[in-house]
Structure 1
């Protein structure tokens, strides 16, 4: 009888391990043609050592330095060794967790199945191999590629395991590792910027990075435009018919001056007087159709929900929990379409989803795949509802802030694809006596998908198709447009237009930039405002490559090329040195602008030195010792001091920090503070 292979399935986190156990029939057992045991990581357990720990001892001082003269680094000096990430939570440390998995492997396994997220950035493969390398596993490694954590997807992945003979010949790992090394090496930019701004008197850590620098500079630049904005009114002639339709001349957006726009009202009024009422002419009606919008990604979802008060961090966190509960699809996808298989899989649930989010089922009459939304190419598929449908929206609220809004928005966006096209009457006309004055507007005929999901306002939409019969001249006042306020939606649209990052990385980066007292951005109902730290970081990256969308886009492309074996990792990493060589002198020039733009740095507040406690000197256990004469708010009496030096236990009445009275009982003994040993009063346990 043939012996069944036995594999250890390595899930990314505890919640994923539970979903795998549910799909396979338990945390250990038999599936397909192998025996298995499921264990889990907790995301990344390993991180790169400090730079000075990854180079020969003779170079350690240079790589620990924040001096500009010691950069850029020679990346060939680094051995890229990792160490355990220190955990702040109580319980098993990362080393202990890996030791447990390693001990289990010694029970006799034929291989490890990587069952971490199939991530487009290679992150899931990277964190798995970090753990595998730390455990010094030399056996077989296989990859389970799953689209989501539904039982069907997990089972299919376990039947189609991909062997990985060599991680250095495995594209997703190469991409994840190269991105990780690039980001680590780019810490030099933070050191350079921070060294310069602190030298200028600003006590700030200026965090600079691939996506952070692009975002903070664009937002800062936009606020500069807003602050510099001066409204300049103008006056021009327009015509209006009885239904309110406006006839105007076409404006060339590239034109510096427009002859028929007047700076003074009096000039405009004089111009109006030269026109008379005119009949409407050349009226045309064309029936047009508009297909449903693209499926949204995580960035689009965050942008839509920001005005409702949901931060990027909340969207990211709540969506992840909804995914783990299998109510929504995989979050970190790059897809904006679904495959035919994914479309057909969700089709039986659409009526139930429609009822849940209060969409009329009769609108869902286009249940055939649209070529614009359903394509054979794809991986996880676009963000969408899961095949598991909640009984009620209230059921979702336990998964975090905005769970109801996230699910409803995602569902309506997907259901819109199953509705018919928006149909409208496109109306155009001009004026008989003044043919340069034209009008164009749309009159809805059938809303169809727009009755389900319509987030874009249409300024050309009108409820009346009746034109004329004549139009009257009038004086219209306008002004130069004010630059748009930076919002989550605005920055996400900019990043998407320039193809910088993925939907998920844009959201996670924006979330990180908006966190904590040292955050770079304030986010309020979608409005983004730089903090003082953000302003400093932005000024420091003006005209740098790290803040260039084109450079950042190219870096993402290069990482894809590493994954596809079109570029060696060393060539990608060499680009870090090129960026630093270009940006360091630019940052040295930029630092001179800080005071001019932000004002002088705040003066350091002098902190009064705490008076040193009076010391007692005496002989304790045959040795001369020194200890504080006070403990808390109690000063030892001469009798108590004598008893303490004699090794006796003393008792006295005092209060806690919260001013609550208690009886202190203790004796003299050895104590440690920040690694230093000293003699002092030790409170005995009751």
Structure 2
């Protein structure tokens, strides 16, 4: 029996090859082949391509409020090879990668899904959708692994498991229903955007399961902060000679010793005088180390230090692939017994890297609060590969050193002893209603290594007073207090709220926060972990008032429903029906709330229409209309005429948002956007040309090329020309015609070649690689 192992990405395939002895061969007596996937390789087609009948196709093609919500039962959920577009606008398809899987599957006995195992079931979906795409009818198996170390991969290979059909595989069902629900939820973005545009706001207002909850939580908290009004109060308290404060328990409905005016409190203070302090009890207490961090908690700590979620995710992934840290997308908060035994010999070595005192790491036995079996990957922790120093991690990314140090110290805290302190209670002898409870540290234990609760706290937590003990005597004073101000939302604060509702895993929360804080349609800003609303975020917040998609309790129920579908306790159709319910409800909410936008957000920015050009496209004799501007560049009248004649032109400009200069070539052409054809400037990549077909400059640095010059240059020859610099000085140079990259853009150019010899500056004003069009 030959196994075809489907690895999730090329880096995983390399690790498999290292663990098993090659990309193909025999391991543990079983023949195998490793085939790499590239993450998700399929995507849903447009909705109108998923329905039957002309009427339905037209209805789903429109994406208008009148046609929403869609009926999920009409959709066939057809998929196609994923198409991606790079930064240069070049499209690529995963069709060949899928065909490679089909070719590799010929002659094998079984396909083995060897993707990551994550809480969402995403790895299962990635494998199954490709297996379905190639129409495989044979056995399907599963290789599970904790991480990509040789030992774990070999262990996983030895324990390859049979899988039932895809519709009986709970992990796949859970992931598939989630992906379909998310596809249906695209209607919410369209409806929210359309509602905003009816009021003149030309923006895209994104909505979704997690992003809407994040936006609403942040918006509500900011509203509380803005509504806060400081209300000072005054009351009598005692302070002993060790600076411990003694207070009375205040009941707002019963007590009257808290005053709005300081003078009233000062009058009350005259009733009290100095007194001795009485110690009532001393209780020895212990606190164990906090839980191991998940990716959400880790990223929230790093956010306060200025590291963005997107950067933390990317850097952590690279470190994981190098086995320096454990699997990122786990929801486990504990490690297994086997993982504990595996890591135990590395404790001192890890401590040396991060500067933790090895003398504090004395608790080498298993803690039941941190070690138990039954998880998948185990909690986030250092990997089995221990770096020589933190400095060696710099190559992985800006946050690599801090990621490892934080993760390692959190993990090492488990090997520290409990924090031990004495809880001491006392009162004022003459006035026993004034009491105090203080904490006197006996042994810091794990807190001397890392205190996870303190590091993830959003603000200063009010708890027992730390002290050196009760004093002997105390005297009264007038205390000035104030009603507590709501904390401004931060990454740490948001992580706490989402964890409380059990919305998403740590990894999905970090990736979604990264998504909503970047790009033109960002909903939030993230400044050293402090979160605020963008203008679009403010618009989205108004829309979400009273919505279901923005309610964390609703989202929590939805996550539970998806889990239930994976456990076959709920039918997928019932989960998808909940999408229809949400969209039906929120559609009405969005349009109702849109009428509040002007009063709450302010007038929208005026829409600046791009200038249009109208003319006859000569090669086809067809009348066309296109934008005079492209990527911040405005075509001159001469360039417009060249475009209409079908000629290729070269343009230079600066990107309208990044400000980066660019140089590119292109011509007028037709394109399609959301099913609608339009005319416009189409860039031509240098790779699409040969020396014979590339656009050739008529002139370069004052020299006009003859027909024979062009033939020789296109043939790859080098010719000598007499040219004139910008400073009007004549010079001679040998030139060729070839591909060159200038400021990140590759194109065909005239390339000068000056004679070897003493280094002499090129004639002033020459643009060595920028021909005129």
**Same fold by TM-score greater than 0.5:** yes
TM-score, with length taken from structure 1: 0.89
- The RMSD of aligned alpha carbons is 3.2
**What's the counterpart of residue 551 of structure 2?**
548
Distance 1:476 1:557 in 2: 48
Deviates further, 580-589 or 457-466: 457-466
Q: Aligned match of 1:20 in 12, 16, 23?
A: 16
Alignment of 1:554-633 (within 5 A): 554-607=557-610, 609=611
Whether 1:424 aligns to 2:424 is no
In structure 1, runs of 5+ residues without a counterpart are: 660-669
Distance 2:621 2:368 in 1: 88
Determine if contact 2:440/2:467 at 8 Å carries over to the other structure: yes
Q: CA deviation at 1:101?
A: 2.1
Distance 1:657 1:272 in 2: 78
**What's the counterpart of residue 665 of structure 1?**
none
Determine if contact 1:119/1:333 at 8 Å carries over to the other structure: yes
Alignment of 1:639-678 (within 5 A): 657=652, 672-674=669-671
SS in 1 for 2:51: coil
Distance 2:100 2:447 in 1: 54
**What's the counterpart of residue 477 of structure 1?**
480
Alignment of 1:242-321 (within 5 A): 242-252=241-251, 255=252, 259-321=256-318
Determine if contact 1:443/1:461 at 8 Å carries over to the other structure: no
SS in 2 for 1:235: strand
Whether 1:51 aligns to 2:50 is no
Whether 1:526 aligns to 2:523 is no
Q: CA deviation at 1:472?
A: 0.9
Distance 1:463 1:214 in 2: 38
Distance 1:671 1:545 in 2: 46
SS in 2 for 1:9: strand
Distance 2:568 2:360 in 1: 47
Distance 2:245 2:679 in 1: 84
Distance 2:116 2:570 in 1: 25
Deviations 1:120-161 (A, max 9, x none): 111001011111111222222111011111111111111111
Deviations 1:512-570 (A, max 9, x none): 11111221110010000010111111111112111111111111111111111111111
In structure 2, runs of 5+ residues without a counterpart are: 455-459, 629-633, 655-666, 672-676, 681-692, 697-713, 715-736, 738-773
**What's the counterpart of residue 360 of structure 1?**
357
Determine if contact 1:633/1:655 at 8 Å carries over to the other structure: no
Distance 2:621 2:551 in 1: 65
**Cα gap change, 1:360/1:626 in structure 2, threshold over 3 Å: closer, same or farther?**
closer
Whether 1:324 aligns to 2:332 is no
Deviations 1:460-491 (A, max 9, x none): 56664342322111111111111101000000
**Cα gap change, 1:683/1:305 in structure 2, threshold over 3 Å: closer, same or farther?**
closer
Deviations 1:619-657 (A, max 9, x none): x9xx989999x9976969xxx9xxx99x9x9xxxx9963
Distance 2:46 2:152 in 1: 39
Distance 1:401 1:655 in 2: 38
Q: CA deviation at 1:61?
A: 2.3
Distance 1:211 1:80 in 2: 23
**Cα gap change, 1:606/1:575 in structure 2, threshold over 3 Å: closer, same or farther?**
closer
Q: Aligned match of 1:406 in 398, 403, 406?
A: 403
**What's the counterpart of residue 375 of structure 2?**
378
SS in 1 for 2:84: coil
Distance 1:592 1:257 in 2: 45
**Cα gap change, 1:119/1:477 in structure 2, threshold over 3 Å: closer, same or farther?**
same
Distance 2:520 2:535 in 1: 11
Q: CA deviation at 1:209?
A: 1.0
Q: CA deviation at 1:88?
A: 2.4
Alignment of 1:22-101 (within 5 A): 22-56=18-52, 57-89=54-86, 93-101=93-101
Distance 1:443 1:364 in 2: 22
Determine if contact 1:440/1:460 at 8 Å carries over to the other structure: no
Determine if contact 2:35/2:104 at 8 Å carries over to the other structure: no
TM-score, with length taken from structure 2: 0.79
Determine if contact 1:419/1:449 at 8 Å carries over to the other structure: yes
Q: CA deviation at 1:256?
A: 6.7
Aligned pair count reads 653
Determine if contact 1:241/1:471 at 8 Å carries over to the other structure: yes
Distance 1:210 1:404 in 2: 33
Deviations 1:99-132 (A, max 9, x none): 12222223x1111111111111110010111111
**What's the counterpart of residue 664 of structure 1?**
none
**What's the counterpart of residue 175 of structure 2?**
176
SS in 1 for 2:411: helix
**What's the counterpart of residue 448 of structure 2?**
451
